[in-house]
Amino acid sequence: MSDIIAVIRNEQGIGMSSIDGELIVVLLAMEGIVIDQQPVMMRSGIAIFGNLPLGSYTVLARHASLSPTESRQDLVLQNNVMLGVKFVYAESERRLLRIELQEERLDA
């Protein structure tokens, strides 16, 4: 089993959890079907999807005030890894700048 952690950050690396009081929602999809969703944590801008089986997933960050309103990253989850997906936004413009991936082995 493995984990996917989605992180929402501004260009200075500070957590972005909400816009105009509405939390950013992260969705997890497999084969085009949403299998889980959760708002990011208020203080950290993080959503954690734990104990996932191997496979191909899509992680989506969604908020009506962001541009684009839905950003997505496809990834393949291997056994015993934690995959981090960081969505980085220009906070004042509410525009996606980039998506970064990080992989850590859980059995190391």
Asked if residue 72 lies in contact with residue 89, where contact means CB atoms within 8 angstroms, the answer is no
Determine the number of helices (DSSP H) and then strands (DSSP E) in the chain: 0, 10
pLDDT of amino acid 29: 99
Domain boundaries, the chain: 2-105
3: pLDDT strictly greater than 70: yes
Asked if residue 83 lies in contact with residue 3, where contact means CB atoms within 8 angstroms, the answer is yes
pLDDT of amino acid 106: 85
Give me the architecture of the 2-105 domain, per CATH: Sandwich (2.60)
98: pLDDT strictly greater than 80: yes
Per-residue pLDDT tens over the stretch 50-93: 999 999 999 999 999 999 999 999 999 999 999 999 999 999 99
Q: How far apart are CA 68 and CA 43, in angstroms?
A: 23
